[in-house]
């Protein structure tokens, strides 16, 4: 006995084309085939993609693609596993729909951090003239440090923007627009945990890299010191090869750790998790084969943002170069470099940081959908639209 096949609603009971009517006699064929009844097309069966039904997909099984017309999209994304186009398109939609809460806050936050750090950088760069007095060959320590100081302000603003953009994305997923004030109200209680989590994860990455690099550096120093004693350079060559291998391992380690910890800030803000819980959540959401997907998208995003930043920075650098030549004083070189570095950081930070932070936030949502059935929670919340809190964490499968 075989299971009955699914029949579209309104089409009647299923029949066996090889069987006749109950009497055993075949009915004569009609003179003309009957015209099909005029009725709307039958709806697909309730299953994958249907509102109110559980997801029919699992990791590695693209069941959602069967009925694209039934996608439930309350906001910027369809509530199903996301592809690369979904992620990038949704981030741009969120930025366009919440300009004040994304680019506006990015500009204000970056400005607040860059004004003091750029001023400090200009002052430090100006000390190069003092250091050069009475010396014949001086490495421009003050000038170099002065041009690097504004980058500290950019890093500080990026920490806050990670939380701001994560909140905006969480609301845009539900179809809500938020103002800059609403974004601040929704995230100000998580700023200190976010800063703490960023410091902890940053130190963890630096310590891991240092553990890999320190030993080869010491080996190179030792080889250089003993080179005059050794009859050949074999020790130095081996030390250099050891250092190159260690540098490669350090780069791979940095990529691995930064990917495993990519969602710490998002989890701290949206799930109101502590530092330890945020690290555990990010570690769980980037485990297994999905690690490579997250890594690849983040590398591609970094490349795109890097190219865009260089395009934006080129005219500013050209203007700074013209200003240096026009001033006629070579001592102003480092001062102008610090100013250009600050202005470049302000413009590129305001334009590119929301995109990068938005991609990370949507990758977090995507991983929760793939691993935890988070789409069901989002559908329920969107249909009820009563509880505006971000749905909490569930146990990862």
Residue 337 is assigned to a structural domain of this protein: yes
Say whether pLDDT at 187 is over 90: yes
Residue 12 is assigned to a structural domain of this protein: no
Residue 51 is assigned to a structural domain of this protein: no
Question: pTM above the 0.75 mark?
Answer: no
Residue 349 is assigned to a structural domain of this protein: yes
Q: Which domain holds residue 99?
A: 84-192+264-384
SS (H, E, C) the chain: CCCCCCCCCCCCCCCCCCCCCCCCCCCCCCCCCCCCCCCCCCCCCCCCCCCCCCCCCECCECHHHHCHHHCCCCCCCCCCCCCHHHHHHHHHHHHHHCCHHHHHHHHHHHHHHHHHHHHHHHHHHHCHHHHHCCCCCCCCHHHHHHHHHHHHHHHHHHHHHHHHHHHHHHHHHCCCCCCHHHHHHHHHHHHHHHHHHHHHHHHHHHHHHHHHHHHHHHHHHHHHHCCCCCCCCHHHHHHHHHHHHHHHHHHHHHHHHHHHCCCHHHHHHHCCCCHHHHHHHHHHHCCCCHHHHHHHHHHHHHHHHHHHHHHHHHHHHHHHHHHHHHHCCHHHHHHHHHHHHHHHHHHHHHHHHHHHHHHHHHHHHHHHHHHHCHHHHHHHHHHHCCCCCCCCCCCCC
pLDDT at 144: 64
Confidence of residue 162 (pLDDT cuts 50, 70, 90): very high
Overall number of domains in the chain: 1
- Candidate from 74-78, 133-137, 228-232 with smallest mean pLDDT: 133-137
Residue 160 is assigned to a structural domain of this protein: yes
Residue 42 is assigned to a structural domain of this protein: no
pLDDT in tens, 279-335: 999 999 999 999 999 999 999 999 999 999 989 888 877 887 777 677 666 666 777
Residue 177 is assigned to a structural domain of this protein: yes
Residue 305 is assigned to a structural domain of this protein: yes
């Amino acid at each position: 006995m075989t299971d009955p096949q699914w029949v579209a609603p309104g089409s009647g009971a299923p029949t066996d084309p090889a069987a006749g009517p109950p009497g055993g006699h075949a009915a004569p064929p009609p003179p003309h085939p009957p015209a099909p009844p005029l009725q709307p097309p039958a709806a697909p069966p309730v299953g994958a993609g249907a509102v109110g039904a559980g997801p029919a997909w699992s990791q590695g099984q693209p069941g959602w693609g069967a009925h694209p017309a039934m996608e439930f999209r309350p906001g910027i994304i369809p509530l199903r596993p996301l592809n690369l186009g979904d992620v990038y398109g949704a981030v741009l939609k969120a930025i366009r729909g919440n300009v004040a809460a994304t680019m506006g806050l990015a500009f204000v936050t970056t400005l607040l951090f860059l004004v003091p750090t750029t001023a400090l950088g200009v002052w430090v760069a100006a000390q190069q003239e003092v250091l050069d007095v009475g010396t014949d060959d001086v490495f421009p320590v003050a000038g170099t440090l002065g041009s690097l100081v504004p980058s500290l302000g950019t890093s500080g603003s990026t920490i806050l923007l990670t939380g701001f953009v994560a909140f905006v994305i969480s609301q845009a997923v539900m179809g809500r627009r938020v103002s800059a004030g609403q974004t601040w109200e929704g995230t100000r209680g998580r700023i200190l945990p976010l800063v703490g989590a960023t410091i902890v994860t940053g130190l963890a990455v630096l310590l891991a890299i240092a553990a890999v690099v320190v030993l080869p550096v010491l080996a190179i120093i030792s080889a250089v010191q003993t080179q005059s004693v050794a009859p050949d350079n074999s020790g130095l060559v081996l030390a250099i090869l050891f250092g190159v291998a260690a540098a490669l391992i350090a780069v791979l380690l940095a990529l691995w750790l930064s990917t495993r910890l990519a969602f710490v800030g998002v989890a701290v803000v949206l799930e109101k998790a502590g530092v330890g819980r945020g690290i555990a959540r990010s570690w769980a959401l980037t485990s297994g084969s999905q690690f490579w997907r997250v890594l690849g998208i983040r590398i591609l995003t970094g490349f795109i943002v890097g190219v865009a930043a260089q395009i934006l920075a080129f005219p500013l650098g050209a203007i700074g170069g013209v200003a240096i030549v026009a001033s006629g004083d070579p001592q102003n070189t480092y001062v102008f470099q610090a100013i250009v570095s600050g202005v470049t950081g302000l413009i590129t930070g305001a334009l590119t940081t929301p995109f990068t932070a938005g991609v990370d936030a949507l990758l977090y949502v995507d991983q929760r959908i793939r691993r935890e059935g988070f789409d069901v929670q989002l559908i329920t919340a969107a249909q009820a639209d009563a509880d505006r809190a971000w749905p909490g964490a569930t146990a990862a499968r």
